[in-house]
Amino acid sequence: MYDSPHQFEPLIPSVLPAGVSDKANRLAVSASRLAAMAHPSVRAVLRELVRSMCSYYSNRIEGQGTHPRHIEQALRKNFSGRPEVARLQRVAVAHIDAERELEALVGAGTSPMSSALLMASHRALYARLADEDRTTQDGPVIAPGELRPVDVEVGHHVPPSAAALPAFLSRMDQVYDKPMTLETRLIAIACLHHRAAWVHPFRDGNGRAVRLQSHCALWSLSEGLWSPSRGLARSVPSYYARLHNADLPRRDDLDGRGNLSTAGLLEWVDFFLETCLDQVDFMHRMLALDSMKIRIDALVTFRAATDKAMRAEAILPLHHVFSAGPVSRREFSQLTGLGERTARSLLSRMLATGLLVSDTPLGPVRFGLPLDALQFLLPELYPEAATSVDQD
């Protein structure tokens, strides 16, 4: 049983291979450029889509998949009549609302690298759920934001004793919650993700809480436009294998000077950074203006073949709204080149299908990302959204 913080050193490797430092640098540069690629109105709608996607993938990592359409229905307060589906819907909505709350906390000054934020992540998620939705399989009800009062075993891993948890969290704050360069901070975020999971401070819900903290720690760089959860969920066996390897004790005199394996921790850091870099590079490809024009063309052409209210004249104005931002309804109609009545009918159809969004009945229109269009507009971002879903 671990009972002293020196037993989970190193918290950050003292020597970093050139490849790890290079990945952290490339991630910082690429993510910074991504935020400037899309109009603010597009970033806003994409941010909400990624938020739902994070909820879906975090659930899936835990082996509790909820169909994206069920999440979309739950956000409209439309819950399934099947108890298990409805429970997962409630967990998904709680995760989405928890993200918003935590982002506000970080914006108000709470350090995303602190144990206080980790505790807040657990509390923000589970305090939103009724007792029946946070009852563990072995009986106890998860206490939101409270350290576990008992010693536990997690597979082959025996986390620190319950009595020692405050000391371990305090040591994490000493190492992670301090000023760093951006590249060093990215490496520290990866290390914190593992060490927080290794400490296992809560009776249950540790994985979700740790991923929420990582989301917040990356927020200033990601702005919510990408998430490591998507990449981690797509390679769950590798995710858990890398976490496990970083759990291992030091192998020999060439494996650092801490109690735990430096090589295992570096392997995890490299995997985490590579996952983040892959997600950022993917979003770069998705948001490129030229390729988006091609995908908008394909979507509208496909729909126009079976939907008489959809017309090819929508392609140019829809791409304009994507690249330049909201326009008035009159401007959108003019961009179609159609007669007034036909243009108005086309605009109504695009609003009805969610390809355009407006806050008021006569207000400006902006770019939308409905789930049933993602297979064209953002292929492979959220492919599960295009699959069929069982009806209640």
**294 CB neighbour count, 10 Å cutoff:** 12
Class of 289-384 in CATH: mainly alpha
As beta bridge partners, residue 357 has: 366
Q: List CB contacts of 194: < 8 A, sequence separation 6 or more.
A: 243, 246, 265, 268
Residues 134 and 122: beta-carbon distance below 8 Å: no
The third-level CATH classification (topology) of the domain covering 5-287 is Fic-like fold (1.10.3290)
Grade residue 169 by pLDDT with cuts at 50, 70 and 90.
Answer: very high
pLDDT given for residue 264 in this prediction: 94
| Domain regions of the chain by residue span | 5-287, 289-384
What would the pLDDT profile of 238-293 be if each residue is shown by its tens digit?
999 999 999 999 988 878 889 999 999 999 999 999 999 999 999 999 999 999 99
- Among 3, 379, 367, residue whose Cα is nearest residue 168: 3
What would the pLDDT profile of 153-162 be if each residue is shown by its tens digit?
988 899 999 9
Please tell me the distance from the alpha carbon of residue 111 to that of residue 176, in angstroms, as a whole number: 10
Residues 176 and 193: beta-carbon distance below 8 Å: no
Please tell me the distance from the alpha carbon of residue 364 to that of residue 33, in angstroms, as a whole number: 28
What would the pLDDT profile of 111-127 be if each residue is shown by its tens digit?
999 999 999 999 999 99
Kindly state the average pLDDT of the residues 290-312.
96
Kindly state the average pLDDT of the residues 285-303.
95
pLDDT given for residue 64 in this prediction: 82
Query: Any alpha helices (H) in the chain, and if so which ranges?
Result: 18-34, 40-61, 68-75, 83-107, 115-126, 165-176, 182-199, 206-222, 228-233, 236-247, 262-287, 289-304, 315-324, 329-336, 340-352, 374-377
Q: Among residues of the chain, what percentage have pLDDT more than 70?
A: 99
pLDDT given for residue 390 in this prediction: 65
